[in-house]
Amino acid sequence: MDRPPPPLVDRRVLADSADVARMIRRLALELVEHNRGTAGLALVGIRTGGLHLAHRLRAEIAAAEGVTVPLGAVDIALYRDDVAVGRIRPEIGATELPFALDGVRVALVDDVLYTGRTVRAALDALMDYGRPRAVWLAVLVDRGLRELPIRADHVGLAIETRAEQRVRVTVAADGPGPRDGDAITVEGASPTP
């Protein structure tokens, strides 16, 4: 019995390391402008990709403004709404907020915004640690297809995707500027002829 050939996988590079570096630099400057400086601003990265991006944003802000803003990380494993639906043992990481959240303007950072469920879980986690003055969402890629009424305040790249596609973001966590291997790609099955 002949089996049909497997579907071809279409993989496109949407941004290379230089493009990603420019997006990160722009996002960092937008956050400082939105906050009218760095006073009272803190970055909180959603583990794991958002934390790498937050490190890079922090380095860019330090390079541009000469100020190192506070940086924290939030883990959402226990706040996800799909833990009971298929995720038998969620991998739990540390939430590290080495500063008080009360009265701080938080830039919540993630690499890809998709359904909005990760951001909702991160907001729930943040509120367990304090009451920020404001929370802004900064993402490198907004791929659309939202399931919750959540939007990003600062976006590096907005694209339209299909649910069966996968958006991959590779961002090294160290220092400002381009890093070899940084990239944004989209992959998914191409329709068979």
Give tens-digit pLDDT for 172-186: 888 777 888 899 999
- Look at residue 20 in the predicted model and tell me its pLDDT: 97
Q: Is the peptide bond before 48 cis (omega within 30 degrees of 0)?
A: yes
Q: Please write the tens of the pLDDT for every residue from 140-160.
A: 999 999 999 999 999 999 999
Q: Which residue has the higher pLDDT, 8 or 186?
A: 186
State the distance between the two ends of the chain, measured CA to CA, in whole angstroms.
Answer: 21
- Look at residue 130 in the predicted model and tell me its pLDDT: 95
Identify the burial level of 86 via C-beta atoms within 10 angstroms of its C-beta, where 0-12 means exposed, 13-18 middle and 19 or more buried.
Answer: exposed
Q: Which of the four pLDDT bands, split at 50, 70 and 90, describes residue 85? A: low
Domain coordinates in residue numbering, the chain: 19-81+93-161
Q: Which residue has the higher pLDDT, 64 or 90?
A: 64
Contacts of 117 (CB under 8 A, 6+ apart): 80, 81, 82, 147, 148
- Look at residue 193 in the predicted model and tell me its pLDDT: 38
41-50 mean pLDDT: 96
Lowest mean pLDDT among 53-62, 89-98, 115-124: 89-98
- Look at residue 93 in the predicted model and tell me its pLDDT: 78
Architecture of domain 19-81+93-161: 3-Layer(aba) Sandwich (3.40)
Give the integer Cα–Cα distance in Å for 8 and 162. 16
Q: Which of the four pLDDT bands, split at 50, 70 and 90, describes residue 6? A: low
- Predicted confidence (pLDDT) at residue 104 exceeds the cutoff of 50: yes
pTM of the shown model: 0.89
